[in-house]
C-alpha cells in the first residue's frame, strides 16, 4: 500500500503543459494577425507649386562624371582642367547658384576629387556630391 500512495503523489506533482502551449499559440496568432493590419502612418506633406520651382532654380550648375571618367558641364563634354573657369563664368552669370557634382558609381575617385578641387579653386565651397543612377 505504501507503494501505491507514493505513486499517486508522483502523478499529482506533474504539470500539464497543454493549456500553457494553447495560450502561447493563441497569443502568437493574435500578434501575427494584428501586426499585418497595422499601417505605419507618416506626416502628409504638401509642397506649394511656387516653392517647387524655386527649388529647381537653385540647382543651376550641374557637373557630371560618367563611368568612363568623362566630365560633362552644361550637357557638353569638357576637359577636367576647364571645370574651374567654367564654374567661375557660370557663377558670375547667375544669382546665388548652387553646384551639384553627379558622380557615376563606376567612375574613379581620383577624377571626382580633381573636379572637387577645381570647384573649390573657382571659389565655391558650398556644393554637393550626388551619386548618378546606373543606366
Q: Is residue 86 part of a domain?
A: yes
User: What's the pLDDT tens digit per position in 25-63?
Assistant: 999 998 888 876 666 666 666 655 654 454 455 557 899
Question: In terms of domains, do 60 and 120 share one?
Answer: yes
Question: In terms of domains, do 13 and 58 share one?
Answer: no
Question: In terms of domains, do 57 and 95 share one?
Answer: yes
The number of domains in the chain is 2
Q: Is residue 101 part of a domain?
A: yes
Closest to 107 (Cα-Cα) out of 77, 74, 134:
134
Question: In terms of domains, do 103 and 126 share one?
Answer: yes
Question: In terms of domains, do 84 and 21 share one?
Answer: no
Whether pTM > 0.85 for this model: the answer is no
Question: In terms of domains, do 115 and 57 share one?
Answer: yes
Question: In terms of domains, do 27 and 55 share one?
Answer: no
Question: In terms of domains, do 33 and 12 share one?
Answer: yes
What distance in Å separates the CA atoms of residue 106 and residue 112, rounded to the nearest whole number?
A: 11
Residue 118 burial (CB count, 10 A): 22
**60 Cβ neighbours under 8 A, 6+ residues apart:** 90, 94, 97, 98
User: What's the pLDDT tens digit per position in 81-131?
Assistant: 999 999 999 888 887 778 899 999 889 989 999 999 999 998 888 888 888
Question: In terms of domains, do 53 and 32 share one?
Answer: no
> Which domain does 14 fall in, by range?
2-37
Q: Is residue 10 part of a domain?
A: yes
Question: What confidence score (pLDDT) does residue 78 get?
Answer: 93
Amino acid at each position: 500500500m505504501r507503494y501505491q500512495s507514493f505513486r499517486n503523489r508522483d502523478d499529482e506533482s506533474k504539470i500539464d503543459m497543454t493549456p500553457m502551449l494553447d495560450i502561447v499559440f493563441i497569443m502568437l496568432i493574435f500578434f501575427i494577425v494584428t501586426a499585418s493590419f497595422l499601417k505605419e502612418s507618416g506626416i502628409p506633406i504638401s509642397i506649394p507649386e511656387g516653392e517647387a520651382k524655386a527649388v529647381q532654380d537653385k540647382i543651376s550648375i550641374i557637373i557630371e562624371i560618367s563611368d568612363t571618367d568623362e566630365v560633362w558641364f552644361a550637357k557638353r563634354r569638357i576637359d577636367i582642367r576647364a571645370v574651374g573657369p567654367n564654374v567661375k563664368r557660370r557663377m558670375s552669370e547667375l544669382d546665388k547658384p548652387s553646384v551639384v557634382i553627379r558622380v557615376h558609381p563606376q567612375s574613379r575617385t581620383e577624377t571626382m576629387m580633381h573636379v572637387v578641387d577645381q570647384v573649390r579653386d573657382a571659389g565655391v565651397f558650398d556644393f554637393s556630391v550626388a551619386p548618378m543612377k546606373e543606366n
